[in-house]
Each structure stands twice: as structure tokens, then as C-alpha cells.
Structure 1
Amino acid sequence: MRNPLRRRTPEEKQRRATKRARKAQESGLKQFQIIPPEGVPLNLTLASISARAGAQLTDFLVTFMIAFLLILLVIFASGGSGTVITIAGALIFFFVRVPYYIVTELVWNGRTLAKRWMGLRVISLDGRSLTAHQVVVRNVLKEIEFFAPLTYLMVSGNNSILITLTALGWLVILFVVPWRSKKNQRIGDIVANTCVIDDPAPVLLRDMAADDPTRARERFVFTSDQLDHYGRFELQTLEQVLRVSQDVSQSSRKQQDKNIREITERIVAKIGYGERIEAADARDFLSAFYRAQRAHLESRKLFGDAREDKFFRADDVGQDSK
């Protein structure tokens, strides 16, 4: 039976984030690159049209509930006059929506409540921070693009067929523009030079050295000569091996255990470790070796002689300086 608390572990979150990224790639989500002023290219994933529509619907429901409560107050204050309620309702929806979108995207750097929940973010395509001008432009134009014609169709009861068809045609165009845009931009995004990207919350993995079992640290002891055989690159590779998710199939588990045994045998032979390591203790051995190797490299870096990898030679430094 699967442990219900397992989904809260950093490894499970990382596995789900990797799975989400793989699905995004398989589903054909657009990838693009921007270069900020610092000159470091950033590879980003555009938010899908469906994800943006879901976020928009959620934000609309949030603003609708706020506006609905205010309209109830108007009803009680006006005595139920239909004309007053209609006009006040349209104005209330406008003065709730616009500040909501602008304030939330300014405070949370391009994210409304729904975008935060769904892992989306508005960014500037020039690579700089999102400006207040861009936020105001894209959200005010949203009123002109979508909410103004929709509100007109809902409030006005004496529309001519021509006006109704024109408004509906305009709404259709608005839905077509993001589909045809290379970066899924609506008109407001095009004018403001912004787009919406997939931006899930970052996941911090646990410290592998902190999770090393105490019994493994006490049982497996390594000398400085043994730890000198490996460098930073091998340490990072070993960390990736130890971070393999526990949520794997039985066949994958067997292959994983086999790989760990083979890695253990190679390390034992390389460093000249005198004790034979049983298969059941292979993972504990690697965990203890990782912790000792990491501490060894960190301590040596204080003296300026950290090794890049196992192929590092001291005379290479002298040759490079010539």
C-alpha cells in the first residue's frame, strides 16, 4: 500500500515536476529562449492555451464572487431597482476586475491567484523585469478585448442582430489570435510585449549528506588517500545515482540495485578498500562514501586544491599558467 505521506517528500515532488516537464515536451508545448541584460540565455516553456483559459476562468470566479457580494449590498441599498442594479453591476465588475489583475500581477511579479495555483507567470519578452506599464497595458486591453463586448452582450437586452454578430465575431477573433501567435500571445500581450510561461514552484531536494545513516558513517571509514582518487564530477554523478526515486517498478528496482552493486565494486577496487561489501550494504556504503568524499573535497577547497575530476593532475595547473 502506498504511503499517503510520500507525495510530500522532495523526491516525489521532483519526480512529478520531471513528469510534468516530459508531458509538456511530448504534448508539443512551445519552447523558446530569451536573453536578459545579464547575457545568460533562459530556456522557457510557454503556457498552454488550455492552462491560460483555466487560470482565466478561475480568476473570473474569484472576481465574480467579490463583485456579487458588492452587488447584493447595492440591491439592499437601492430597494431592488432593475436599472440601478444593472448599471451598478457592470461598474462593480469593472472596478473589481481591473484592480484585481493589476495589483496581483504587480505584487506577485506577473501572477494572479489562479496563476500562482496553476504554476503560470507573465514575463517581459525583452528579458527584463515586468514593469507596471506592461501590467496595466495588458490588463486594460483585456477589458477592451474580452470583457467589454461580453458585458455588452449580457447587459443590453435590445441588441440588433448585426451588433450581436459583430460582438461574437470579435470574441472569436480574440480566441484565434493566441492560437496563431508563436508565443500564444493575445492582443494585450502583443502590445505590452509580454507572454505567459509555465513556471511551477521550484523544488529543493534534501541534502544527501544529511541523510547518511549514522550506522553507515560509523561502519565505513575512508582515509584521505582513498578519497583523493575521485573529484567533483564523480561526486555529482554519485549524487544523481543516490537520488533515484524509490517509486519505481520491480524490474527497474532490480536494475537499480544491480547498478549500485557494480558502482560499489568499482569504487572499492579503485580506492583499494580492504573490506568486502555485501550486496545488502552497497547502498549504505555509497552513501557513506558520498558524505566522506563531499566533506573531503569541501575541506580541500579551503586550501585551493579541489579536484575537478579523477583525471585532474597537479602539473596541469602549471602548464595552463605558462
Structure 2
Amino acid sequence: FELGPRGATPGKRMTGIRIAARDGGRLTAEMVIARNLLRDIEMFLPIPLIAMAGPDNGLAWLAAAGWLAIFLLFPLFNRDALRAGDVIAGSWVLERPKQKLEAAMTTSEAPVAEGFQFRFEDHELAVYGEFELQALERVLREDRTDAVETVYQTIAEKIGRNDGWGAERRFLSDYYTQLRARLEAGMRMGRRKADKHSNS
């Protein structure tokens, strides 16, 4: 399920969350294996150790409790509050907005409408939806050169543009602002586009 275009198991879809690569793309098989295998190590490895040690072995219980505490507290000690599996896999959990898009980036982060360096036609913006908008916002906020370049190449190739070389971040920032405006206008008209696989 996580390898699919929605990046979510049925349970994740019901709770409105998805898994995506940190560059905003889809997960690879290696990422899915890494994040799920580490969850087994995080949560389930102590259980057989306790079972083998028996109920009277306080040291085994203490070791298991310490093990669980380390991984349960791990999200508190990294900037994006990621569990260890997501850090190692290079993925993150995205929350799908229910009623409206999350607040836009601050005006210092997003250009004003009349200051666009790049303007996009409706058919170029229609390619992506809310899920990709969230992923793009995360990439712009982190502002890591490698992620910006990767996402720029993906979007530029998808919409058939090649005029953003050398100004990749500005290209993505302009695309973000115009895509957001398009999606919000669609919501006011009662239309939603959850992601690039949706028809609306």
C-alpha cells in the first residue's frame, strides 16, 4: 500500500495521513522495507526477550522498558519529530487537510502575486493536488539544495518546462503560490484535488 500512488495503508487513509519521500516523491521499496523493519525492531524486539527471561527477571524488564523509551522519545529529539524508521528511510508522514489547506507560508517565504518570475498555465497547475502542495511546502521550508533541485527537475519534466535552471527555488516558490491559489479557488467552488491521481 505504501508503495502505491497514495502512499498509505487503508488505516492511514482513514486517519488522513500518508507517507512520502523527503524530496516529496513516492516511496521506494527500500524506504518501505527500512521504515517498517525498524518499527519491528523498535517495538517488537523487546517482547521475545521478556518472554524468554520470564516474569521474575527484573533486569530484562528494565532493559526492555529502556529500549522502548529510547524509541518512543526519539521524535522529541529531531527537528521534524520523526520516528527512527522515517529518519533512516528518508521518509516522513504527511497529514492531509480535511476542510481547508494549511496556512500558507509567510509572505517573506512566498512571493507576492505581482512579483512572479515564472507564471504557469492552468493545465500546468492542474497536474498536482493538495498532497503534492504539502510536500512542496516542506521542501521549500527546509530549503535543502539537493531536495530543491530534485523536486524542480520532477515538476519541470512533468509540466514540460525547462526555463527554471539556475533559479530552481524561485521556480518552485512561484509554482507553490500559484498552485495553492488554484486549489483554494477550486475548494470555494466545491471541487477538491487530493493529489495528482485525482480527476477533479
Q: What is the TM-score with the length of structure 1 in the denominator?
A: 0.29
* TM-score of the pair, normalised by structure 2: 0.45
More relative contact order in 1 or in 2 (CA 8 Å, sep 6+)? 2
When you count helix as a share of all residues, which structure comes out higher? 1
